[in-house]
Amino acid sequence: MALISEIADLLQQSKHAVVFTGAGMSTASGIPDYRSKTGLWRKKDPSKLASIEAMETNRDEFIQFYKERLQLYKSKSPNEGHYLLAKWEKEGKIQSIITQNIDGFHLLAGSKNVIELHGTLQTFHCHNCGQRFLNDVYLKNQYYCGCGGFIRPSITLFGELLSEDAFRDAELECEKADIMIVLGSSLTVRPANEIPFLAKRMGAVLVIVNQEQTDFDEWADFVFHNDIIQFLNELNNRLNR
């Protein structure tokens, strides 16, 4: 595919390539996405299960929801795409990954410079004192810290602001980026969806790879409505020629 050859050339010439990933990055690992026609939020109301309000007023269902998510994540593993990105980082082809995902699979696959905008389900912490816990606490039916505070996933819940540190780090990556490749994000969740647009506005070439159309397609320099793993494999083949 000629367009993928162009992306490969841009990566080879790039001084600071950044990858931005969404839920579609992990569907090949067996993790459902959120907003496609079969996505999780088509079946469940996030405000009742995954929000700060749910944590405070609907705690039993909140615990059960994240216990099930944790069981799912522990039964899955990084896919070929995660490992390819880690390989490219090691080879100096990409410099960082900014992800909306909370599965932690980029780090598990070996990527080092990962900004987890929405936090990670790999760790939990006390909502009161901040003490950290291993992510199997819910599976051990441990929900409260020694201080009496509630133990929660270390993620950004609906109704909470993103980590200022994570968002600032992402903005700094946008300033340095000369190419940003978006993989598997619907680009509908604010303010995370501002990141690719910011990179584009600051001069980066913007590539969007997603099975469905996004509202940002018109702003992108390249758009692929392809399977992500297929796209990454084809791009990898051209990078290795």
Residue partners of 192: CB distance under 8 A and separation at least 6:
100, 117, 118, 162, 185
* Torsion sign (Cα): 135, 165, 17, 228: positive
Cα–Cα distance measured from residue 182 to residue 196, given in angstroms and rounded to the nearest whole number: 7
Is 3:222 a contact under the CB 8 Å cutoff?
Answer: yes
Amino acid at 206: L
16 tagged catalytic:
no
Nearest to 55 by CA among 147, 124, 105, 122: 124
Q: Give the β-pairing of 151-155 and 119-126.
A: antiparallel
Q: Which residues of 90-115 are buried (b: 16+ CB within 10 A; e: fewer)?
A: eeebbbbbbbbbbbbbbbebebeebb
* Helix locations, 91-226, DSSP H: 105-108, 164-176, 194-201
Cα–Cα distance measured from residue 59 to residue 50, given in angstroms and rounded to the nearest whole number: 10
Cα–Cα distance measured from residue 49 to residue 196, given in angstroms and rounded to the nearest whole number: 28
Query: Which among 16, 82, 106, 118 is annotated as catalytic?
Result: 118
Give the distance between the most distant pair of CA atoms in the chain. Answer: 59
Is 26:105 a contact under the CB 8 Å cutoff?
Answer: yes
Cis peptide before 153 (omega within 30 of 0): no
Catalytic residues: 118
